[in-house]
Structure formats: structure tokens, C-alpha cells
């Protein structure tokens, strides 16, 4: 009995720890939930101009477009299942055309030691699309190419190759009509998160190196049929038993939606959050638009400086660093 009583404070502490909110939004969660009642989900985009180095790039882009259409409805179902929104809608639009009209530029980012592509969209086009479809906010998901240094081990874990590998990654944002980023994935503001690639397009051929008795390991691209088979490994959707989803997409969809689900709160936590003012992060990333000029009136003060409008254009993709030195490591078992 005494031991059980000693455990009570520990259990209470654990409950409080679990109840503490983790805000993965760029605005207070309560503000977001009041503001975004009707969420639009754009068709999943493929950024063909990103760092996709596969030798059969056009075939890969076509495959990705097809896989996006097959799997995106599962993301919509997961978002509806959160219970956060009054309605989750899929506006009628062609993915490639919509991306072309909204896209402003991409930027390679490094947060918490994780690199990814961050996207910026044209403010006026985004505003027009959201208002035309009577939405409170729009979720945009982009599949893009990305190159990063990684250490990959052989199947028997006795060797590794550390060099640059070309990946497919998936990022997402929820934006309002003013271009404010209300939520994004990945988001490392409050806590470091894992960020898994959608698919690694390359692999080190350890078997060939072993067969040729050499320490030089070649990095090869996966074939289109092989990539197709990887995407076609499916599982049953967690929200609809009659719906199948690619395991590769499902992993990332579930990570995203986990960060959008309502949090458990104790009654006393609700009191603390009342009166919280909206403080969105000032990084909409839109094309700056000059505000309307006020009527000219006589004044003795100096005129304000002219508003600087950045030229429209696509920032070229940063040149990736040259591949690092190929390293292998043989871990021989200790002799008895």
C-alpha cells in the first residue's frame, strides 16, 4: 500500500507532462481552429524543376503524378477524421496547372540538422484561388527532389558508404488568403521532429564491389519498374477499410495528420490559453505587393521611401556540393 501511494505523484507528473501542449502551428492552436473551419486540399504537386537527378526523369515524373492521384484521397480522409474542420474540400483543379500558377520559388532549408525544400507561392493567385473556392485556408503538398549526404550500410551491416544520395521528399503547408503560413511540415519550431524521405532514388551496390574484390562502391539509380513496385506496396487505410494506400505515402500522411489532431487538455490548461493573441510568424514567402498609395496631401515632412517590389522569378536551385569521399568499413568478427 505504501509503495502504491509513493507512485501517485509520479503518475500525476506523467499525466501533466503528456497534457502539456506541443504547438506545431505558426499561430496559437485555438486561433487556427477558430479561423480554419473549411480547409481546402490542393492536389498533391510534383515539382519537376527540383533536384531530381534520375536518368529517366520524365518517366519518374509521370509515375509520381499517377501515384499522387491514387493516394491523395487518403490524406483527405485522415484530415476529416481529425474532427478539427467543419469541412475538408478538394477543389477541382489540375495539379500541374495549379502548381504552375501558384509557384513562386523554392528554397533549400536546414532546420535542426535536417535539410528540405521550402516553398513560396504567389500571394494574389493564392488569394484568388482560396476566395473562388470559398475556403478558409489551403493545404499544399509538394513532392520534390532533394540531395543530401547520408550513410547507408550494406545488408549485413559490415560496410557503409557515406556520400550524396538523391531522394524524393514530401513537404506541406497550410496557408490563408493573406499568404500567412499557419502550419507546415516539417516544422522544428517547438521540438525536433523526424523527417523521413518519401523514397531514396539511389543505392550503393555493395554486392558488385564484393564480387569485384574492391573497396570502390558504385552508387546506382533504382529502375522505374523497381520504384513502381515500391510505391505499389499498399496497406489498408486506417480510416476506411475499403481504401488502399501506398505504404510510402501512408507513413508521411500519418506524420502530418498527427501534428494536426486536437490535443488533450486538462481544464486548467484552457484557462491559460484564453486571451492569447495571434502572433503568426512573419514568413509568408509571397511575392510582395505594394499597398495602395494614400491620397496626396500637403505636408512638410519628407515623403516615405518607395515600396520595393521584388521581381518575379524562380530562384535557381542551389548547386549541391560535390560527392564526399567514398568510405567503406569492414567490421570483422572477433576471433575466439
**Which tops the pLDDT comparison, 27 or 284?**
27
SS3 assignment, position 25:
strand
pLDDT of residue 194: 73
Between the CA atoms of 275, 276, 278 and 283, what dihedral angle is there, to the nearest 10 degrees? 170
Q: What whole-number distance in Å separates Cα of residue 175 and Cα of residue 15?
A: 33
Structural domain spans, the chain? 21-147+168-199+241-263
Could you tell me if 67 and 231 are in contact, meaning their C-beta atoms sit under 8 angstroms apart? yes
Q: Is the peptide bond before 186 cis (omega within 30 degrees of 0)?
A: yes
Locate 307 and state its grid cell: 515600396
SS3 assignment, position 67:
helix
**Backbone torsions φ then ψ of 147, nearest 5 degrees:** -115, 130
pTM, full prediction? 0.74
Asked if the model's pLDDT at residue 186 lies above 50, the reply is yes
Locate 157 and state its grid cell: 551491416
Asked if the model's pLDDT at residue 59 lies above 60, the reply is yes
Which tens digits make up the pLDDT trace of 129-154? 999 999 999 999 999 999 999 999 99
Q: What whole-number distance in Å separates Cα of residue 200 and Cα of residue 222?
A: 9
Q: What whole-number distance in Å separates Cα of residue 6 and Cα of residue 94?
A: 61
Asked if the model's pLDDT at residue 105 lies above 80, the reply is yes
DSSP state letters, 160-189? EEEEEEEEEEEEEEEE-TT--EEEEES--S
Asked if the model's pLDDT at residue 163 lies above 70, the reply is yes
- Count of Cβ atoms closer than 10 Å to residue 310 Cβ: 9
Q: In percent, how much of the chain has pLDDT > 90? A: 58
What is the separation, in whole angstroms, between the first and last Cα of the chain? Answer: 51
Arithmetic mean of pLDDT over the chain: 79
Residue with cell 535542426: 112
Locate 269 and state its grid cell: 490548461
pLDDT of residue 189: 62
- Cβ contacts of residue 81 below 8 Å, gap of 6+? 239, 257
Which tens digits make up the pLDDT trace of 249-262? 999 999 999 888 87
Give the pLDDT band of residue 25 (cuts 50, 70, 90).
low
Q: Looking at residue 277, what DSSP letter applies?
A: P
Amino acid at each position: 500500500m505504501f509503495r502504491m501511494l509513493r507512485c501517485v505523484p509520479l503518475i500525476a507528473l506523467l499525466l501533466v507532462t503528456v497534457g502539456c501542449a506541443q504547438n506545431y502551428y505558426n499561430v496559437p492552436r485555438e486561433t487556427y481552429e477558430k479561423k480554419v473551419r473549411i480547409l481546402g486540399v490542393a492536389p498533391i504537386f510534383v515539382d519537376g524543376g527540383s533536384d531530381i537527378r534520375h536518368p529517366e526523369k520524365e518517366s519518374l515524373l509521370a509515375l509520381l503524378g499517377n501515384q499522387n492521384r491514387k493516394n491523395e484521397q487518403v490524406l483527405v480522409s485522415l484530415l476529416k477524421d481529425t474532427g478539427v474542420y467543419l469541412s475538408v474540400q478538394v477543389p477541382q483543379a489540375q495539379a500541374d496547372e495549379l502548381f504552375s500558377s501558384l509557384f513562386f520559388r523554392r528554397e533549400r532549408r536546414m532546420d535542426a540538422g535536417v535539410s528540405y525544400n521550402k516553398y513560396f507561392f504567389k500571394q494574389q493567385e493564392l488569394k484568388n484561388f482560396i476566395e473562388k473556392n470559398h475556403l478558409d485556408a489551403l493545404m499544399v503538398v509538394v513532392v520534390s527532389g532533394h540531395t543530401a549526404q547520408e550513410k547507408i550500410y550494406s545488408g549485413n551491416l559490415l560496410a557503409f558508404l557515406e556520400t550524396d544520395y538523391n531522394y524524393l521528399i514530401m513537404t506541406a503547408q497550410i496557408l490563408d488568403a493573406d499568404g500567412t503560413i499557419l502550419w507546415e511540415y516539417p516544422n522544428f519550431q517547438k521540438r525536433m521532429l523526424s523527417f523521413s524521405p518519401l523514397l531514396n532514388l539511389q543505392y550503393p551496390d555493395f554486392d558488385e564491389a564484393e564480387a569485384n574484390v574492391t573497396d570502390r562502391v558504385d552508387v546506382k539509380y533504382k529502375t522505374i519498374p523497381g520504384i513502381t513496385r515500391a510505391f505499389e506496396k499498399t496497406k489498408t487505410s486506417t480510416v476506411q477499410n475499403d481504401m488502399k494506400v501506398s505504404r510510402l505515402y501512408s507513413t508521411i500522411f500519418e506524420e502530418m495528420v498527427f501534428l494536426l489532431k486536437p490535443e488533450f487538455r486538462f481544464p486548467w490548461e484552457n484557462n491559460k490559453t484564453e486571451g492569447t493573441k495571434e502572433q503568426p510568424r512573419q514568413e509568408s514567402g509571397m511575392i510582395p505587393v505594394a499597398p495602395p498609395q494614400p491620397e496626396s496631401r500637403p505636408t512638410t515632412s519628407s515623403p516615405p521611401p518607395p515600396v520595393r517590389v521584388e521581381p518575379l522569378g524562380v530562384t535557381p536551385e542551389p548547386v549541391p556540393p560535390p560527392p564526399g569521399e567514398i568510405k567503406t568499413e569492414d567490421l570483422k568478427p572477433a576471433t575466439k
